[in-house]
Each structure stands twice: as structure tokens, then as C-alpha cells.
Structure 1
């Protein structure tokens, strides 16, 4: 099936403007928060905000390239993208990757570092959209076959070990199976089996990962160690009050009490400075993003597009809920970035590709409404 190549002018004219504006607003708030997070006592910002702007420009270019190529063409190349780029890069990182925060999940590319698990989410979404629609998981053999195919990348991420990303992969697979038409009894059995195997998975976790889960239940268990992050993040969010302390006036990040303020706990920085009302604006923007993503999937008549959009939505939704939840002490710390706000080129680039794919699906439906 042919697919129209949209010009940049047509993308702006016919694309989902509400989605674009919401994403851009979140990105701007993220850059401001990253800049503030790096304004420590007696020192100037170290340049993370400027680097994020550069990554934003790169992501913008990639965004338009992906839309020009189109989601259908990328799905046609899905097996190649998945095996060569996703699985291949995950294997390379296990052999030669850099270890950061206890996980061997980064590749050193000279001037920059790259996290394959972020790009791997794109490859996973594409291959599921193609495989689950070519071989619908309506019987047990196809269900298990698709599960094994998608589970390979998930296992490689878990081995790094990156618990947070492996959960994202697992949720993407589950949602894709549901949308692809997998029988409820298979999905429920898979979900139940995952819960039954939790004690087994606990044995494979690193010590620091176990501590993260334990201090979620009781931060006072290790207040100067694993529980320190949770306690300081709660203080930051709570001290913001209704209106916040004002831009660049948050004390938790400025006095270096808040760890990883520009990445893992960017929402804590934002909440302290912009308060409850400012945080509500971010939550509304994310709700609008989800609404527009789901709307694109519902409009699409191509089942591959529906599976693709559903898995991408599951990824972004979980990371938003998890990142904000852990900042407030409501969920365990996993180290997952907050989409569009947290500093990180790999994360921003991957989520920009995801939004581009959603936009491509949206644009493909335009002829049905004109």
C-alpha cells in the first residue's frame, strides 16, 4: 500500500496542532526546570539546559523525517529495525556498554552517550504492530510465538539490569496483545503468571534495586542511603505549596539536597518552584497528550496503526505516572525519565520519534475526514 509523503507545510496544516503545542509546552517547561536544577550554590548552570535545547533541535529534525517516511514504511522495515538496531544494540551494550548507577545500559559513541533501551522501545512497538497483525495472537501457538519475539528485547534490558525499562517493555507487550485481539484468557493468564513469578524476579535484582523497593514502603529504613532520595523529593514537592517558591528559588536543588535533580527528580524541582497550580498545568498537558494519542489510534482504520499507537501510549503513560509518582513518594524509584521534561538526549529523541509515529498515523486518517 502506498503512503503519501507529507511536506512540512502540510504537516503544520493538517497535523494535530493540539498535540504539537502540548508537547512543545512540556519541553519548554522541562528546559526551564533543567536550567533551574543546575543553578547550585555559588555556581552557574553547567550547560545541561543548553544541551537539552540542542537535543530538542535534533529531535525536531528527526520528528519531521519520521513523518516524511511514514509509519507504514517503518512497519514494513520493522523486523530489520528490531533485530539489527534494537536487539543488536542491546547485545552490544551488554558486551561493551558503560555502567552507570549500577546498570550497564549506555554505549559510548565518543562525543555522546547513547542508551539503546530507549530506542529499543521504538523497535519493539514497530515489530509488534507488524507481527501481531500478520500473525494475530488468536491461538496459543501464535500468542506464545509473538510473546517470545517481543520478550527477547525485554529480557536483554532486564539483564542490564534496568528494572524500570523492562517493566515499560512488558506493559507495551501486554497492551499490544490486547489491541491485536489476543483472547482474554491468554492475557489474564499471562498477567497472573507475571505476579506469581514476582518472588523469583526478586532473586535476580541487584542489592540497590531491592533497597529501592524496600524504602518505598519505609523510607526511614535507610534515611541516609536508599531512602534519602525519597525523603528529599517529598520535601521538595511538599514545600512548593500552592503557588511554589518561584522560578530559580527552589532550595532543595539549589542546596544540593535533592539528588539527580535534572533527570530522575525533575518533577520535584518543578513542583517546588511552581507549586500545586504549576504541577496541575503539567498534569493537564500530559492528559491532553494522552487524549490526542488515543484519538489518533481510534481514528485509524489500519489495525497495525492501532497496535502501534497503543503500545507507544502505554510506554509514555507509564513513564509519566511512574516518574511523577516516585517524586511524590507514591511509587518506587526506578530511574525512569519524565518524558519531555527530564534531561537526556536518548530519552528525548526516542519519545519524539514516538510522537512522530502517532502524528503519522493521525495524518494517514485525514483523507477519511476531508
Structure 2
């Protein structure tokens, strides 16, 4: 590297560190300037380092500026998110993105009895952009232990919008940026992020079981979504990733003004509070070699079992959560969350939650 180029890079690094307080208002402009030079491959390591330093001292402005980029992330934007995910700031960046996703559309997540209006296209695109950024950061994240600790907050955020976006293709159909994504269903982006997160937080045998049971396909179909949530919850319980914090974060959904969130929460708690544990067929155990699909189907028909009635695994992980859920339902009953104003399906499932917690 020529001496002049080395001197310029050193000066830029010193400038970003020493003048960090004076350049607060200019952070978006500085980031855009660095981004414009990303096309020159010879400068990429230097530019990524500069963006890292800028993010270290101005995390919120940098993240907000990156989220202003188009929903159609180009390779440069993807590389920026992944480089931040690989850095020591990775988990902090992810936590900031989760907070932004939680705040998006919060005015429509109240607990009043008035019906919620449809989410605007602006809110939909905002959540989709944040979720794509989360996926890139998680993909490059090195610390899986930190990701597991953040899971009780990250999973509800992604699952919330996956539920809210069910059947939301029409409102995005006229938007050019959405058409160019070539994604049929908006909820699929959130489900892909959940799949990526769980792939890093759980053993492969559990993620494989989710594929066998067709959980992801069910979750993106409005009619099959509750069943998909139940199957997902069953695997999460036995993988040991359902924590008190996760239950606490999902409990307010039982009284949400959103029908989708109420159904999702009802399905979750109904599965958590099941007391009768059923054994799996040998081919359904996730830690053995699985036979072909035709053999599984034949075995299922001969025994009269199916994935629907044999999904509950027998592990000690269910007991503490069942006890916790019982306390949660008692608290919900005191606050009037076990209301009778919901749909017949909701009242039936909620009654099932209350009944199973009584044992």
C-alpha cells in the first residue's frame, strides 16, 4: 500500500475516534459517503473498518441510516450488516434491531377492545426491512450463547409479525419494491428469520423435526397457522428454549386487539399446558437415522399414529414450564384475560388452557 493511502486511512480512523462528539449530526452523511465507495473492492476492508468505528460511537444513527436503504438489499448492504454481525458489536446491533421491531406498529397492539386497523404499507415495509437486517446479523453472529439469551425477546417479535402478516399480500401487491423481492407471502420473510435463529439456538435434531412435521408450511397458511404454532411450541419445549421470560412476553397477546395474535398465543399456551405426554414412533425420534418418506408413511398407517397425535415428546423440559404457565393463567384470569368475548375457537382453546393447568 502506498504511504499516502496508508496515511489517509490512518487519518480517517483518528478522525472518527477523536471527533466523535462533533460529528453526531453528520453521521448519516458520513455513512452514505463510505457506502458510495463500497463499489471499489480495493477499499472494502478499510471501509468496513470505518463503518465499524462509526457504529461503535454512533450505533443508533448508523443502524437507522442503514435501515433507510431499499428493502431490496444489494450486496454492499448485506456485507455491511454481516460485518457488523461478525464484530464485537454484533449482539448489541441485534438487540437494537429487536427493539426497533418491537416498537414498530405498537400503536396497533393495544389492549383496548376496539378492533385494530390494517397495518399500513409503511409499517409493513419497515418491519420487513428490519427483519431482513436481523437475518443478516444473525447469519454472521459468532456468539450463539448470547443469541440464546436474547431469544425470549427475539422470537416473540418475529412470530408476532409472521402472524400479523398472514394474508397480507394484497396490501403490498402494488408496491414496486415488494414485487421485485419475488416472495409470494410477506410472512415467509419472518418465518425464514425464525428458522435461521432457531437453527443457531437448537440442536440439528430439533430443526430436523420441524421440517419433518411441516411446521414452516403450516405457519404461513392462515387456516393451519394455529396447528403450526402448536407443533413449533412442542419442539421448543423439548429443546429447552421456552423460558419464563418468553412466556411472560407472550402472555399479553391473549388480550391483544389483534385476532391473529390472540390465536397465536392461545395455540402456544394450549400446547404448553398439555399434561399428557405421548411417546413417539421410532422413526419420529430426531436423534436416529430417519427412513424414507414412503416408509414413514407406511409405518404411520400401520400403527394408526400421526404427527398430529404423537408430537408431544417425553422430556423433563416440559414440567417447569407447565408450572409456570399455570401461574400465568391464574394471573391472566385475575386480569380478565380469560374473557368470553372472543371467537368460539378462542374460547375453546382458552378453556383448554385453564382446564389443563388445574391438574
TM-score (norm 1): 0.29
TM-score normalized by the length of structure 2: 0.30
Higher relative CO (Cα under 8 Å, sequence separation at least 6) belongs to: 1
